Amino acid sequence: MAGLLDRDKLFVREHVGMFKARNAYDLLDPATQQVVGRAEEKVSGFFRKLLKFTRWKSMMSFTIYFHDGSAGDQVVLTVHRPFTWFRSVVTVTDAAGKVVGRFRQKLMAIGPKMWILDPAGNEIGMLKGDWIGWNLQVVDKDERPLAKVTKKWAGIGKELFTSADNYMVDVADQVTDPDMRRLLFAAPITADMVFKEYKG
């Protein structure tokens, strides 16, 4: 069985919740519709959960853990943003806790845009998208496509009354570097958390 991060395509299905204190996502094989992993936010403490329903939400830290169903549900990827006043910087670490890269929000941009940085802080690509369709593209520093993220409509009731969304992640065939693949699979949930779930 292929590992979660070895796939070229992944369907991300956000859990529905009108009043949710934490975010969670099912990760599915698009061909079989079988759940192959999950990504969950950990929120501890009553006071912290309460703050998620206030204007402070946009500045709060968050941590998302990616679990691989083919590897005994172990955590294979972690996405973390510390408390921020203005610009989000999100760190992605592997199963051993090694930093594989970061996403740094681009200020004064039309639509969601984040620089992709290597562990040393060098810009190696960009995540960019549109506000209307919430479709995202990830390109390297030479504007060559690395992955695309397409929002899948979830039904009018779900769209109107919750913030839940579904995404299809499609990684380009030429991407073989394991750390870059980790960043690409972290991209849609990172963008969802920074620009939608935690926008305040």
User: What number is the average pLDDT over the span 43-61?
Assistant: 59
Tokens describing residue 96: 């051993």
The rounded mean pLDDT for the chain is: 82
Give the pLDDT of residue 28.
Answer: 93
Q: What is the pLDDT of residues 108-158, one digit of tens each?
A: 666 678 999 999 999 999 999 876 656 889 999 999 999 999 887 655 444
Is residue 153 within 8 A of residue 165, CB to CB? The reply is no
Superfamily name and number for 4-197: LURP1-related (2.40.160.200)
| SS3 (DSSP) at 196 | helix
Is residue 4 within 8 A of residue 76, CB to CB? The reply is yes
Q: Which of 69, 67, 72, 63 is nearest to 41 (CA)?
A: 63
Give the pLDDT of residue 159.
Answer: 45
Percent of the chain's residues with pLDDT above 90: 46
Give the pLDDT of residue 162.
Answer: 45
pTM of the model: 0.82
- DSSP 3-state percent helix, strand, coil across the chain (nearest 5): 20, 40, 40
Is residue 87 within 8 A of residue 109, CB to CB? The reply is no
Q: What is the pLDDT of residues 12-44, one digit of tens each?
A: 988 875 445 568 899 999 989 899 999 998 866
Give the pLDDT of residue 4.
Answer: 87
**Token pair 């690395």 is at which residue?**
146
Sign of the alpha-carbon dihedral angle for 47, 52, 57, 61: positive
Instruction: Select the more confidently predicted residue: 6 or 108.
Output: 6
**What are the distances in angstroms from CA 85 to CA 26, 50, 90?**
30, 19, 13
In this predicted structure, the answer to whether residue 184 has a pLDDT above a threshold of 80 is yes
Give the pLDDT of residue 139.
Answer: 94
